[in-house]
Structure 1
């Protein structure tokens, strides 16, 4: 058995779940590397990463380099004498970093590689209507998410599951997979599988363009987009009602498949319901968010707002 001395690299909540499991399994953590504090909000108060907050609570050594290639950081990293590095939802590493430890650097990715390499694998698996996904550990190499696979574990995606719910499920599965990977490494039983070079399904970075809803698409595709972006960053549309125009976010919805004669994007309201038409049915809105407002249930919104028969989404 090899004694592991680990450097952990990560930033968001997803990484915290993995770090917590490593910590609770009594592995030696030489340091935690996370993003520098960033000013946020109106007061520009420094915002600490979720990983930093957790590491502080546990009294772990924390490094927050701004430049991963700087000589000062590389010297500091080498002085830790770690023989293994683990990366979860961090940023691309230079070779001088990932090639440093004796046992290598492995990454946990929230997809079944080689599918969904990239920045948003959880979201795109749902957006594309996948029925299963999972997590993969692999040794990092020069490219993004292309290294030799160590372990993969699979799980089903429920028909109504949101990105937030799948995130939490994969965090638990990911933690189990990382521990199993550590056991293989410390017992020298790792047998890797090389990935194909070509991309298959890609987890593109989410942006304003691919988060906008196109109601001319089939209702199931619209439904998958909305749940695949729920709770963050949220799918949005432009609602037009007379001279008023709002950028609205849709959160919880259902899809009702049904023939109708409306044009796509029609914004239909009753005293308690909102539906938006697609070519093959209706997206029923359960929670919605107007600019500058909190997310609210449809009934709450309709208590204070009324819409004309001409309201529609573009």
Structure 2
């Protein structure tokens, strides 16, 4: 089948690789326009555009998804199925062009965690599993009929970055199974439940703040849910510190007020009290600096027991 792929994320590359190796034809890739980056604000090609050029695939970079020229070019590609992963909200004029419709690969067990940040929120909320859902696009975001799903476990210390990689690697099998079913006319899509599920809105600055009055487990989940990006943060002596890796030192007992330093030692590391339990910081980053292991950080920053993180 002729497949049109729409994405702006590196997450989709294993799926693109699989399609190229299959008997199907990747007729085009749609991604974001190139944007200026760096201090000199030079235009830089996106990862997806570079990928399309390496593989000699037509790449479209529309500003306006409803533009007549863009719609005309899509129709000329004659796609039979559209695939979207981590892209913009598609207008009906686009997702109805492919003969058999457009499908989305979403990293959650829909209807749970509809939205922009499903992996982050699943980990922040302490979920033990997440999943992949392939569904037909309609005019409501993430609410189309589900074709196929797969549950995937989350390790107690796995980060959002690690889970994104795991899901990215496992998504091609599910996607190709759905494409093959569509080609054979062997599809049974199920309507999603309308309510009673958790949402996954875009991560905002207020979601990134570590509240030391929370439990050690909740703080640990926040840190790994926002690692490697955008990162949970705290402040120490009015300086912002992003925390990327932690370990629960004690899940029940505390030895001081929330946010106070219990241990600061080059060998034992940095351990803080929380609202319930104690947590060990393993990796962090000062504003404008590189990520550091806690031992390296403590060598250059003297932190005394009893001081506070806020």
TM-score normalised per structure 2 = 0.96
Please state how far the C-alpha of 1:199 moved relative to its aligned partner. 5.7
Match of 1:232, SS state, is: coil
Q: Is the 8 A contact 1:138 1:147 kept in 2?
A: yes
- Which residue of 160, 179, 190 maps to 1:163? 160
Please state how far the C-alpha of 1:282 moved relative to its aligned partner. 1.5
Q: Distance in 2 between matches of 1:198 and 1:41?
A: 43
Please state how far the C-alpha of 1:70 moved relative to its aligned partner. 0.9
Which residue in 1 is equivalent to 2:241? 248
Which residue in 2 is equivalent to 1:304? 300
Q: Is the 8 A contact 1:12 1:49 kept in 2?
A: no
- Greater alpha carbon shift after TM alignment, 192-201 vs 123-132: 192-201
Aligned pairs for 1:1-314 (under 5 A) are 4-198=1-195, 200-240=197-237, 245-257=238-250, 258-268=252-262, 269-272=264-267, 273-309=269-305, 311-314=307-310
Q: Distance in 1 between matches of 2:274 and 2:191?
A: 43
Please state how far the C-alpha of 1:47 moved relative to its aligned partner. 2.9
Match of 1:150, SS state, is: strand
Q: Is the 8 A contact 2:159 2:225 kept in 1?
A: yes
Q: Is the 8 A contact 1:117 1:202 kept in 2?
A: yes
Please state how far the C-alpha of 1:197 moved relative to its aligned partner. 2.0
Please state how far the C-alpha of 1:46 moved relative to its aligned partner. 1.9
Match of 1:283, SS state, is: strand
Q: Distance in 2 between matches of 1:26 and 1:299?
A: 52
Match of 2:205, SS state, is: coil
CA RMSD of aligned residues (A): 1.3
- After superposition, the C-alpha distances for 1:158-216 in whole angstroms (9 at most, x for unaligned) are 11111111111111221111010111011110110000122611011011110111111
TM-score normalised per structure 1 = 0.95
- Matched positions, count: 307
Q: Is the 8 A contact 2:254 2:274 kept in 1?
A: no
Please state how far the C-alpha of 1:264 moved relative to its aligned partner. 0.3
Q: Mark the runs of 5 or more structure 1 residues left unpaired by the alignment.
A: none
Match of 1:135, SS state, is: strand
Q: Distance in 2 between matches of 1:21 and 1:312?
A: 51
Q: Distance in 2 between matches of 1:205 and 1:281?
A: 29
- After superposition, the C-alpha distances for 1:72-131 in whole angstroms (9 at most, x for unaligned) are 111111111111110011110001101122100000000000000000111111111111
Q: Distance in 1 between matches of 2:42 and 2:295?
A: 35
Q: Mark the runs of 5 or more structure 2 residues left unpaired by the alignment.
A: none
Q: Is the 8 A contact 2:253 2:278 kept in 1?
A: no
